[in-house]
Chains A and B, each alone.
Chain A
Amino acid sequence: MVRTVDRRPGSLRSPAGSPPPTLSQRGARWIRRHRLAPYLLVLPSIAVIGALVLWPAVQIGLFSFQDYGLPQLAGAAPTQWVGFGNYSQILHDSEFWLSLRLSVISAAIMVPLTLVTGTLVGLLLARLGRKMAAFVSSVAVLAWATPAVSASVIFVWLATPDGGVVDWFLTKLPSWLGGGAHWAGFNWTNAALPAYTLITVLVVWTSFPFIAVSVLAGLRTIPAELHESARVDGAGGWRIFWRVSYPLLKPIFLVLLLLSIIWDFGVFTQVYITIGELGSRDEYNLGIYEYSKAFTQPPAYGMASALAFVLTIILLIITVGYVRASVRQGALH
């Protein structure tokens, strides 16, 4: 906003004979002379992000080296530093390893499923007629817009043992497709494997539209002649994708892959609702386990912070890759 003036200082200067500059005019000049405008413009956002995102992140790091519980929260006991105590406790905590394993395995299944589904739908959208493509992508965006809480409640209802449509459908399915009467009343939420199967379908359902729309946008940037000449040379759809589209869209796929890993590894709301709040400990993933340490009685904020720190570090390692991929794509210009 100040830029234009910044480049032509003469334009603001009051003409000869006009009254002396007011205070605000003098202030504007001072800002211009010292090139302060950009710093003043980013200052409010830095203050808000710093106070409410960055400082809490630092605090997590500090708390993780403390024994921080109810007495410290109430101010009844002094800060108690325990060094790496919380971390060494985590390393010997079988529940931590179980929850980490669940997070890793579920992300390892969700991410490729989301990417493959999204890419296939994106490729389909690119080949559909204009109207049909608009219709399908509108519907897909609806799925993406569905709030996580609603989506989770809907999927739990779909898969509920009595009255749920999933179990009914599976009993009607022919046995060679794995259907049969044994699905009647099957409970999807009381054990880790079925619960995370349900959560995986739910996560894929909510996140494939974003991938599809992004892939479609990428495909539209590829000149049509490239595809045509590949076709003339006798290449089929599979070959064209791997030899033409994929190499050209590789940077986009890399970003989508990293984003999906970050999102799916940190999935919280869907798990919290599907497993029935914090009830069943064998269905905790890392995020839920950490949360339960802090917000079930008696709270262990120090321990929870150590777990939160581990979770954050894992995500930051992937974020570094994401930032590098983004920078290479020229995101900072």
Chain B
Amino acid sequence: MTTTQLTAPAVRRAAARRRRLWTRRARRAGLNLLGLLVALVTLFPIFWMVSTAFKPSTEIYSLTPHPLPTHPTLANFRTVIDGSVIGLPYWNFLRNSLFVTLTAVVASSLLALLAAIAVARFRFRFRTTYLIMLLIVQMLPQQALVIALYIDFRSLSLLDSLVGLILVYTAFAVPVTIWMLRNFVAAVPREMEEAAAIDGAGPVRVFWRILLPLVAPGLVATSVFAFVFAYNEFIFALTFLNVDTAKFTLPLYVQYFYGRNGANWGAIMAASTLFTIPVMAFFFLVQRRLRAGLVAGAVKA
């Protein structure tokens, strides 16, 4: 303290500046290190899944686990793709999943777009009731509703049918899709539609030429949620698809694989990797939009 008091003011200021610079750099390095740590811990389970999938069984059950396979093998993936468990190859279940998911996404996006236009562009009686209904419906527990739906679908012969799953996935994806899509519809400037209408465009033309192209990015962002919900859904698939294993969707397939293959962790992780990678790749591609959608849908909600 005494030395600083003795030095000239200019020198003292320079030293203080340097000190501040150093603390700022140290803090930045510390924060980056912390960020890296968070990323590593978060990534670890996914990394371990992929790494295990490439390990031969001797390495999987070794007493000291190694992060990376020393002798990488594709044997586990071959087990999955050949279909040694259910007797059907992985592609069969991927096809089921994609069929169910894509149909449900298209159907729910269509229904949601119509409703979103109504909610964003019109004031009408029961609008508030309708919106509150959408909020509540999202919170109803699926493991409760599945009982009644099972009984209904049984009498409609919709069990062990992908059509039944599509119906349920569409219905459960619609509320959240409307909820997020209406913000995108509301963001389209009304003046553009009005200008087109003055130019003589009818409502259908206004929809196709003005509204749809402008809402399309929002439609992509919101359809991600429907996609992920339908692709990952487990309870309904577990309950409705029982007898006919050929109809299984991927989540059910992975769970069945795990149930039957008790200790064959290499193959289970390979199955899980093949199930997870597509949805992750999809996520990565639309990430930025997605975060916008997340915020628009949930936080402002």
A and B held together in a complex: yes
Residues of chain A having any CB pair with chain B under 8 Å: 1-5, 7-8, 11-12, 28, 35, 37-39, 41-42, 44-46, 48-49, 51-57, 59-60, 63, 73, 121, 124-125, 127-129, 132-133, 135-143, 145-151, 153-158, 160, 162-163, 165, 168, 205, 209-210, 213-214, 217-218, 252, 255-256, 259, 262, 266, 268-269, 272-273, 277, 287-288, 290-291, 294-295, 301, 304-305, 308-309, 311-312, 315-316, 318-319, 322-323, 326-327, 329, 331-332
* Interface contact B193-A266, CB-CB below 8 Å: no
The residues in B between 178 and 198 inclusive whose CB is less than 8 angstroms from any CB of A are: 178, 190, 193-194, 196-198
Q: How far is the CA of A55 from the CA of B269 in the complex (A)?
A: 39
14 other A-B residue contacts (CB within 8 Å) besides A41-B118, A163-B65, A308-B141: A5-B197, A46-B130, A57-B148, A73-B151, A132-B35, A136-B36, A141-B283, A151-B45, A154-B48, A157-B269, A268-B143, A309-B144, A329-B300, A331-B135
Q: For residue B171, which residue of chain A has the nearest CB?
A: A52
* Interface contact A145-B45, CB-CB below 8 Å: no
Residue of A56, A121, A323, A326 with most chain B CB atoms under a 10 A cut-off: A56
Which residues of B are found within 8 Å of A4, using beta-carbon distances? 190, 193-194, 196-197, 203, 206
* Interface contact A56-B148, CB-CB below 8 Å: yes
* Interface contact A153-B272, CB-CB below 8 Å: yes
Given contacts A53-B171, A146-B280, A290-B143, whether A332 and B117 have CB atoms under 8 Å apart is no
Q: How far is the CB of A138 from chain B (nearest CB, A)?
A: 6
Residue of A39, A45, A60, A256 with most chain B CB atoms under a 10 A cut-off: A45
* Interface contact B144-A60, CB-CB below 8 Å: yes
* Interface contact A42-B130, CB-CB below 8 Å: yes
* Interface contact B35-A136, CB-CB below 8 Å: yes
Q: How far is the CA of A157 from the CA of B60 in the complex (A)?
A: 11
Q: For residue B228, which residue of chain A has the nearest CB?
A: A145
Which residues of A are found within 8 Å of B131, using beta-carbon distances? 331-332
> Pick the contact of B203 from A5, A136, A209 — CB < 8 Å?
A5
Chain A CB within 8 A of B14 CB: no
Chain A CB within 8 A of B49 CB: yes
Q: How far is the CA of A205 from the CA of B135 in the complex (A)?
A: 25
The residues in B between 21 and 44 inclusive whose CB is less than 8 angstroms from any CB of A are: 28, 31-32, 34-36, 38-39, 42-43
> Pick the contact of B145 from A56, A125, A214 — CB < 8 Å?
A56
Which residues of B are found within 8 Å of A218, using beta-carbon distances? 299
Chain A CB within 8 A of B140 CB: yes
Chain A CB within 8 A of B98 CB: no
* Interface contact B118-A37, CB-CB below 8 Å: yes
Q: How far is the CA of A55 from the CA of B231 in the complex (A)?
A: 24
Chain A CB within 8 A of B91 CB: no
Q: For residue A155, which residue of chain B has the nearest CB?
A: B45
Which residues of A are found within 8 Å of B46, using beta-carbon distances? 142-143, 146, 154
Q: How far is the CB of B256 from chain A (nearest CB, A)?
A: 10
Q: How far is the CA of A287 from the CA of B239 in the complex (A)?
A: 14
Chain A CB within 8 A of B301 CB: yes
* Interface contact B144-A42, CB-CB below 8 Å: no
**Interface SS, B side:** helix
Residues of chain B having any CB pair with chain A under 8 Å: 28, 31-32, 34-36, 38-39, 42-43, 45-46, 48-49, 52, 60-65, 111-112, 114-115, 117-119, 121-122, 124, 127-128, 130-137, 139-152, 154, 167-168, 170-172, 174-175, 178, 190, 193-194, 196-198, 200, 202-204, 206-207, 211, 228, 231-232, 234-235, 238-239, 251, 254-255, 258-259, 265, 268-269, 272, 275-276, 279-280, 283-284, 287, 290-291, 294-295, 298-301
Q: How far is the CA of A205 from the CA of B119 in the complex (A)?
A: 35
Q: For residue A151, which residue of chain B has the nearest CB?
A: B45
Given contacts A4-B197, A277-B259, whether A45 and B43 have CB atoms under 8 Å apart is no
Q: How far is the CA of A157 from the CA of B266 in the complex (A)?
A: 10
> Pick the contact of B175 from A37, A49, A214, A291 — CB < 8 Å?
A49
* Interface contact A147-B298, CB-CB below 8 Å: no
* Interface contact B148-A217, CB-CB below 8 Å: no
Q: How far is the CB of B252 from chain A (nearest CB, A)?
A: 8
Q: How far is the CA of A125 from the CA of B48 in the complex (A)?
A: 25
